[in-house]
Structures are given as C-alpha cells and as structure tokens.
Amino acid sequence: MSRARNRNYRQRVDQALASPRLQQALHSFGDAYVVARENAFAGLDFEAMRQEIGAMKDRVREQRQELVAEFTRNAEAAGAKVFVARTAEEANRYITDLAVAQGVKKVAKSKSMASEETHLNRALETAGIETLETDLGEWIIQLAGQRPSHMVMPAIHMFRDEVAALFSKVTGKAESDDIQHLVRVAREQLRQGYFEAGMGISGANMAIAETGGIALVTNEGNARLVTTLPKVHVALVGLEKLVPTLEDATKVMRILPRNATGQLLTSYVTWIRGAVPCADGDKELHIVLLDNGRSALAESPQCRDALRCIKCGACANVCPVYQTVGGHVFGHIYISAIGVILTAFFHGLENAADLVQACIGCRACVAVCPSDIDLEGIILHLREVLGEEEGIGVGKALVFKHIMRNRKLFHSMIRAASLLQKPVTRGERSIRHLPLFFSSLTEWRTLPAIAEKPLRDSWKTLPQKVENPRYRVAFFAGCLNDFVYPEMGYDLVKVLNHLGVEVLFPKEQNCCGVPALYSGDRETAVALAEQNITAMLADQPDFVVTTCPTCTMSLQRDFLELLKDNPVWADKARQLAAITIDVSRFIVDVLDGRAVFAEESVREKVTYHDSCHLKRGAGVWKQPRELLAGSGHAVVEMAHSDRCCGFGGSYSFSSHPDIAKHILNDKVLDIEATGATCVAMDCPGCIMQIRGGLEKQEKSVRAKHTIELLAESLE
Amino acid sequence: MLKRFTEALSKVGGQAAEVATVGEAAAYIAGHVNGTVLLPSQPSLERIALAAELEAAGVKVVRESWREHAAAANAGVTGVNFALADTGTLVLESTAEALRLATTLPEVHFALLDPGKLLADSLAAIPYLRGFHERAPRNYLAYITGPSRTADIERVLTIGAHGPRQLHVLLMPGLSTDFYEL
C-alpha cells in the first residue's frame, strides 16, 4: 500500500472528523431521508420493484452490444449523432473537438456525474472554453473549486454562509445568507448563460434503445434550459444507463426519485429523441455513450451487479461512515458504497484502496439499494483483490496464515494472552486503560478481558439436565463467546436445557474466518470453513446454534460461496448452512418457546439494538423483541435501532477506530435517550463495542445479550 | 381520480382552480399575472380563442418571436396533453420550441387541463408515450410535476429554482378529449 496515499487519506479523515457541523448536517439529512423515503414507497412493493430493476439491468448487461446498436440506429434515424467513447479521454476529446470546430466559447452544463467522472470541465477549459455549471449545487462547488460530495446533492457538505460568501464574490455585493434569496441570486446570475452558451451539455438518467431517446430526471429546470436554448446539445451518458424499452425507462423513473430524495416524482422528467427544433432550425444533438471501465465491470462476475446502479445516492444517505466523514472522504468521484466499486473500475484500484477499507460492512446500503445490488459483498471481494495485489500487511498475514489456520496454536496463544493481560486487567472483566502504545485502544471504550477459562475448557464441567431431549444442537460459539464471554455459553446451555434441548460443543471448531475474509485473506477463510464444517457436522446435530450473527452469516452464506466450486466441500457447506440458526430465532421459530419465560410483573426497561448481520444478514429482528417483551421486559425502541454500533471487527481496532468511535457515540446517545436501564442485543461484537462505550462514559446502562436476559428470567 | 390529482398537485406546490368558461380562465390568468404572457399556438387553446379573451382581460400576449420575448415574459400559458393522478403530473408534448420557452423561462406557468384527460399513473401513460414516439420522428416530451424546486443548499426545500416558481392548473371541462392534442 502506498504510504503517501494513505497519509493523505488519514489527513482527510481527521479533517472531516473535526467538523461536527458536517456530521450533524449529514445525520439530520439521513433521518429526514428515511421518513421521506418510507412515505414515498407507501402502498408500493419496494422489494418487487427493485428485483424487477435488477433483472432488467442484468438483461441490459448481457445484451449491451445489441442494445447499443439499437439505440444508435434509432437515435441516428432521428437526426442525432452517437459516439461510443471507450475512455474518459476519448469522450472529452470528442466533445472538446466538437466545441472547437463549432467555435463554441462557452458551454452551459446541467448536472452530469459522467462529466465529473471524465473531468470534462478541465478538458474544455484547457481548450479555452468556458464552462458554466447551472445546477445550483454544481454551480456552488464550481465556484468553490471543489468536487461533489454526494451524487444527487453535490454541495450537501456546504452551508448557507459559505454559499453566500461565494455568491457575493460573483455579484460584487454582500448577499444575505437567506436560502430563498440565494436560490434567487443563482437563478438570475445563470439566466444569461443559457443564451450565451453555444453548447449545452447534459447527462441522462436513461437511454432508451427502443426509441433512441434519452430521459432526464430533474428538479430545478436548468436541464430543460440547457437542452433547449443552445444550438448544440451534447448528452454524455454512461453505457449502464441503457434500458430496452419505454416500460423499463418508466420503471426506473418510478423508483429513482422515491429512493433518491423521497419524492414521488421530480419536477421534471424530460424525454428527448433526436434533433428537435431549435430557434429557426434544428438542434444538433450528439450522444456520447461512455464506456470507461464499464465493459471491464460487465466482465467481472463478482462485481458486475454494480452496473445495475441507477445513481440514486441512497447508499450514501443511510451509510454511518458517510454520515460521519462525508463524501470527500468516503468517495473519489462517485461516493459511498457504490462509489467504492465504481472508483475501482473507472478510476483504478489505487484510488479505491482506502475506500475499500472504509466500509464498515453494516449492509445498511444493501437494504435500500433500488437495484438490489449486494454492495457489501462486492466491496468484500475488492478487499480480497486488494489483499492479493497489495498484500494485507505482514502482521495480519502472519496471524491469519500461520496462527489462525492452526487451531491448537491459535487457541493456546489466546490462553497465553489471558495470562499476559493480568497486569492491565487487575483481575477485572474490563480493561479500562492500556499502557504505552496501546493506550489509544481504550481511550473511548473499555475492552473486555480475555476470560481466564474459555468456554471450551469448562464445557465438560457444565451440567446438562435434559432427559429425552427434543433436539440435540451443536453450539458454534465463535471466538468472542468462547474466549471473552464464556458466561453467554453457560446461559445458552441453561436456557436451551430448560426448553428441552441438549447442547454439544464440538471442540474442533475454530474462528469462523470472517476476520481473515474481511481483511482480504480468502485462502485462510477457505481453510477455516473446511475445519468448521467438519467440526460442526461431526456429531450429526439437529441444528447448529449461534450467538453471533456474523458467525451465522459466515456459516450460512460465506462458507457456501467460498466452497461452491469445490466438489468435496460444496455439499457439506450446504448441509451446514441449512441447519445453522441464531439462538433467538431458534427459540421462537423452532421451539416456540416464548411462553416458557412468561412473566406478569415488569422486570426492567430494555431497549433493543439490531445488529447489522442479524437484521440485514439473517433477517431476524422480531424474534428477540418478542422474547424480551414476553419475558416481562418493557421494551422501548431507540431511534436508529438498526444503525451500526461502529464495531465492525478490525474496523474499530486497526482500520478506522476514529470513525468507529464516532459511530459508537451516536449509538450511546440513542440508547441513553430511551431511559432504559438495559440495552439488549444478539451479538457479542456489538456487546464489546456498546458495553465498552457505556462503561467508558460511565453510563448506568447494562449491555446484555438476549440469551443472558432470558437466563436471568429463569432465576 | 381528479381528487387524487389535485391532492398530489397541491403536495408538490402546484395550485388547481376550476374554470367553466374561457372567460373565467382568462380572468384567472389576468388576476395572477404580472407582465407579458407567452402563448404558443395550441389547437385546444385556439379553439376556445384564449388569446382574444386574455387581451380582452387586459393581458399582454406574445404569440411570436419567442426567443426575443421569452426571457422577459412573466408567464407562459399552455394546454396539457393529459395528466397523471398519482403524482399530480402534467404531460406536455413540447417538441415545438415555443412550448418549451413558455414553460421554462417565465416565473409562472398556467396550464389548462380538461379534467377528463387523467390517467392513474405513469404506467398507464406508457401507450401514449409510445404513441408520441410513433406519431413524430423527433420528440421533446415533458412530465411536469409542480413548480421547479431545489434542496441544494442545506437540503432546505425551496420552491422556484431555474424554471417556473408557480404552477397553476386550470381545470376546464370540455376543453379537449384528445390525449395527443395540446
């Protein structure tokens, strides 16, 4: 990894974190967005709509050559010229040459991310042509000499006083920072530009093969002026914007504004086909279809779903990392989750390297993507590629390859660490301060001590009192439950025994492999998957029960993917996936065990934190709430209950502890606001993070796993 | 369906008014305009002789040399091909440049719509969208939903950006039944 690149990136992270105004703005925007979006989809089946978009876009990818030919034929029959640009340079050269040949001195532009992608303004200005951005947000950042920090709202990072200062420079007088007034100023200042421009440049949201026309989805009205007044119109359109028919285009139109801004429809949808009338003659229309890495993306089986993107920007709106650092950090030209992927293909892996690590993996984006893209999955793949290209670091490589894969060595080293930590734990379960180089690790959260005796070592002495068990289940504990929180295992046995279930602990189980996989070491992840499959299936259990949803996702999803092409292992991986289940769901859905915990009097006011991999991975969120409410707890909902806590495994230790800290603080505030005395969750990773934050800030709120509260209720 | 349309229109900041006669339409426009009005040639509006009525109501009407007058005009007046109830959207076949100038540059857009020309939503509009493409080789079609807007400064919704700042939809029964006619 390039050190200079990383240093520069770290500086930008620090700058963003030092700007609470930006974070507050992005947080309140995110909150308002969720509400507006929900209203916009009222009465509609988002899931069905997005699957339809995804399937349609996949057809477009498969048939792209035919569709480009059809689009070109129809557009040219209507008097347009179509040029397919293989690279950004080709696109810029075509447009610049055209402008020079036509004697254009000034171009008026409406918003186009494709032109940001190719740095078109720079190319035009180098050729001596003035460029005028007419979208309000784009004009603001043009005046500020910046780049967009959001795909739909380019100047979302700026404030009214900053805009007023920029506009004052243009008008030569002090402009008030009243927003209505500033919008007025922009309207008046940009007016003349449309008339003076010899060329209008737009993007397009859809390019419709059936008609050879393009469609623009806009709000401000400037795109209509840009495509009407100048004599020449150039539309720069990414190849992924192709859709086969008007039906397909209408479907994109129905989902795009709803998901982008929570609008049922934007003020304007403009359908343009061919050289329409302009002044006394016809318009000259050029459509530049931009490849610039899209064909390469289409050829990547792991990443190609990213071509389904309709550029709504929702993945940024809901992203806790974006809300914390903004698009100038978590983005290159394209921002947020989709930006990570598009940057890798359009602007090179080098420019995407830091962004690939900046994703915390919470899958909030996946839940709202209107094209059904598994953004997190693709980012993980890119992390693997990067691991192979640049290495994952000597330390990590050593740990994963030589220690983790050797279970006995790995586990004896954790046991040794349990002894070594004694000077800092002072015999307590939480580490509040660490000395010297490690002090930053406990600056904002306490860390749990490694247990004196891991769960595996005390298993034999755990009494199991089940006659004629209903089920025999194997417990996959995961590293945290095994070595850090063995008491959760005791509670699991207690609760499941009470429900007539016998629990086995296969000793050969090892780390689920997520830390290696998420760091880009696929080889170690495969080795661990094989070890764990053998271990967990050995006793032929009825179910494999987990307390950690990240382990659940690993056993249910990642093992399948890692071993799908291996004839020896693929079937076993399927067997394991089919019987793996998290403990809350097991108790509710399989055992129908709610009644066992019934309690009349109120035990405690509890709020529930949805762990990312449990809710958006395993699809479980109702069951733990039912169990808590059913066992006599007053369950109060916190705001943003399913927002990531900022743990993210190594994300909060080594890769981005500074961002993780901010995300945790948001969570602590949300928990505190409920007035609950206990926050429940179903993930030991979240417990480590949230309990650590609560303890460090000396809050009197307990952080507990649902299984622990159920065990308490049996006492 | 009409109720749905007017509710949706009002949610996006547009205003609906019912007018029974061309005289009422002209009076409404005269009461809401503050300067010159662009009136491109459109069959439904010519049939009801709107231009003469507007002039009789004291409105200065521009009917030619569009580019020269458009920037300074206060309002544009158009018919509507048809409208979409669920989103409050007006569909205007705007290939003739005068129609685009009248609906982009002025501050106010008055649109006369026969309330019989309503479709449930954009999916129902697809056959007509295709029809427009079949009837003419080149097209500039506009779906207009409320006045222009922006939220580009601090995400504060501001009505009236670069396009019209006001949109008045005059609902006039008997104006036109043809979805391809403006």
Residue A680 has pLDDT above 80, yes or no: yes
B contacts of A269 (beta carbons < 8 Å)? 142-143, 145
Q: In this structure, what is the dihedral angle of CA atoms A627, A554, A546, A464, given to the nearest 10 degrees?
A: 170
pLDDT of residue A614: 97
Residue A549, domain member (yes or no): yes
pLDDT digits (tens, 9 = 90+) for A109-148: 999 999 999 999 999 999 999 999 999 999 999 999 999 9
Specify the number of domains making up chain A.
3
| Judgement on whether residues A363 and A233 belong to the same structural domain of the protein | no
* Ranges A204-213, A398-407, B50-59: which has the least confidence: A398-407
Per-position b or e across A172-200, b if 16+ CB within 10 A of its CB:
eeebebebeebbbbbbeebeebbeebbbb
| Judgement on whether residues A194 and A227 belong to the same structural domain of the protein | yes
Residue A427 has pLDDT above 90, yes or no: no
pLDDT digits (tens, 9 = 90+) for B13-50: 999 999 999 999 999 999 999 999 999 999 999 999 99
Q: How far away is chain B from the Cα of A268, in angstroms, using its nearest Cα?
A: 5
The residue among A150, A268, A283 with the most chain B CBs within 10 A of its CB, best to mutate, is A268
Strand partners, A273: B139
Residue A220, domain member (yes or no): yes
Final residue before a domain boundary, out of A248, A265, A290: A290
What is the CB neighbour count within 10 angstroms for residue B10?
A: 14
Nearest CB partner across the interface for A279, out of B67, B145, B163: B67
Q: What residue in B sits closest to A75 (Cα-Cα)?
A: B138
Q: In this structure, what is the dihedral angle of CA atoms A2, A293, A156, B145, given to the nearest 10 degrees?
A: -170
A364 lies in which domain range?
A: 3-10+303-387
Look at A136 and B150 and tell me if their CB atoms are within 8 Å. yes
pLDDT of residue A435: 64
| Judgement on whether residues A234 and A310 belong to the same structural domain of the protein | no
Task: Tell me what the mean pLDDT of segment A70-82 comes to.
Answer: 98
| Judgement on whether residues A244 and A373 belong to the same structural domain of the protein | no
Residue A474 has pLDDT above 90, yes or no: yes
| Judgement on whether residues A441 and A358 belong to the same structural domain of the protein | no
Nearest to A60 by CA among A194, A229, A274, A209: A209
Residue A425, domain member (yes or no): no
| Judgement on whether residues A447 and A516 belong to the same structural domain of the protein | yes
ipTM of this model? 0.98
Strand order in the sheet with A206-208: A242-243, A206-208, A213-218, A268-273, B139-144, B89-93, B82-84, B118-119
pLDDT band, very low/low/confident/very high, at A437 (cuts 50, 70, 90):
low
Nearest CB partner across the interface for A267, out of B122, B146, B153: B146
Residue B179, domain member (yes or no): no
What is the CB neighbour count within 10 angstroms for residue B68?
A: 9
Task: Tell me what the mean pLDDT of segment A401-405 comes to.
Answer: 82
Q: How far away is chain B from the Cα of A133, in angstroms, using its nearest Cα?
A: 12
- With H, G, I as helix, E, B as strand and everything else as coil, classify residue A48: helix
Look at B138 and A211 and tell me if their CB atoms are within 8 Å. no
| Judgement on whether residues A624 and A704 belong to the same structural domain of the protein | yes
Look at B153 and A136 and tell me if their CB atoms are within 8 Å. yes
Residue A409, domain member (yes or no): no
| Judgement on whether residues A487 and A374 belong to the same structural domain of the protein | no
Q: What residue in A sits closest to B160 (Cα-Cα)?
A: A220
pLDDT band, very low/low/confident/very high, at A441 (cuts 50, 70, 90):
confident
Nearest CB partner across the interface for A277, out of B96, B145, B163: B96
A contacts of B150 (beta carbons < 8 Å)? 136-137, 183, 219-220
Q: In whole angstroms, give the CA distance from residue A190 to residue B71.
A: 12
Q: In whole angstroms, give the CA distance from residue A324 to residue B108.
A: 41
pLDDT of residue A252: 98
Look at B139 and A213 and tell me if their CB atoms are within 8 Å. yes
- With H, G, I as helix, E, B as strand and everything else as coil, classify residue B147: coil
| Judgement on whether residues A272 and A323 belong to the same structural domain of the protein | no
* Ranges A173-177, A283-287, A408-412, B38-42: which has the least confidence: A408-412
The token pair that represents A158 in the structure block: 């700026």
Largest CA distance in chain A: 93
Residue A28, domain member (yes or no): no
B130 lies in which domain range?
A: 2-171
Query: What is the SS3 assignment for A339-401?
Result: HHHHHHHHHCHHHHHHHHHHCCCCCHHHHHCCCCCCHHHHHHHHHHHHHHHHCCCHHHHHHHH
Nearest to A358 by CA among A372, A334, A376: A376
A contacts of B139 (beta carbons < 8 Å)? 211, 213, 271-274, 276
pLDDT of residue A513: 93
Residue type at A467 in one-letter notation: E
- Given CA atoms A152, A153, A154, A157 in this order, what sign does their dihedral have? negative
Task: Tell me what the mean pLDDT of segment A230-246 comes to.
Answer: 98
Q: Which residues contact B13 (CB under 8 A, 6 or more apart)?
A: B146, B147, B149, B159, B167
Is residue B146 within 8 Å of residue B12, measured between CB atoms?
Answer: yes
| Judgement on whether residues A266 and A146 belong to the same structural domain of the protein | yes
Q: In whole angstroms, give the CA distance from residue B120 to residue B5.
A: 9
Q: In whole angstroms, give the CA distance from residue A140 to residue A143.
A: 5
Which CATH number does the domain housing residue A352 bear?
1.10.1060.10
B contacts of A49 (beta carbons < 8 Å)? none
Residue B151, domain member (yes or no): yes
Look at A221 and B86 and tell me if their CB atoms are within 8 Å. no
pLDDT digits (tens, 9 = 90+) for A629-646: 999 999 999 999 999 999
Residue B57, domain member (yes or no): yes
Which CATH number does the domain housing residue A122 bear?
3.40.50.10420
Residue B46, domain member (yes or no): yes
Residue B178, domain member (yes or no): no
Which CATH number does the domain housing residue B46 bear?
3.40.50.10420
Residue B182, domain member (yes or no): no
| Judgement on whether residues A312 and A272 belong to the same structural domain of the protein | no
A contacts of B155 (beta carbons < 8 Å)? 25, 29, 32, 153, 156
Q: How far away is chain B from the Cα of A257, in angstroms, using its nearest Cα?
A: 12
| Judgement on whether residues A105 and A248 belong to the same structural domain of the protein | yes
The token pair that represents A437 in the structure block: 């180089």
Residue A670, domain member (yes or no): yes
Question: Checking phi first, is residue A311 left (phi over 0); if not, alpha (psi -120 to 50) or beta?
Answer: left
A contacts of B147 (beta carbons < 8 Å)? 267
Residue A348, domain member (yes or no): yes
pLDDT band, very low/low/confident/very high, at A681 (cuts 50, 70, 90):
very high
Look at B143 and A270 and tell me if their CB atoms are within 8 Å. yes
Residue B77, domain member (yes or no): yes
Look at B142 and A159 and tell me if their CB atoms are within 8 Å. no
Residue A52, domain member (yes or no): no
Task: Tell me what the mean pLDDT of segment B154-170 comes to.
Answer: 96
Is residue A456 within 8 Å of residue A505, measured between CB atoms?
Answer: yes
A contacts of B5 (beta carbons < 8 Å)? none
Specify the number of domains making up chain B.
1
Nearest CB partner across the interface for B142, out of A187, A268, A274: A268
A contacts of B71 (beta carbons < 8 Å)? 191, 195
Residue B142, domain member (yes or no): yes
Per-position b or e across A363-381, b if 16+ CB within 10 A of its CB:
bbbbebbbbbbbbbbbbbb
Task: Determine what percent of chain A is predicted with pLDDT higher than 70.
Answer: 99
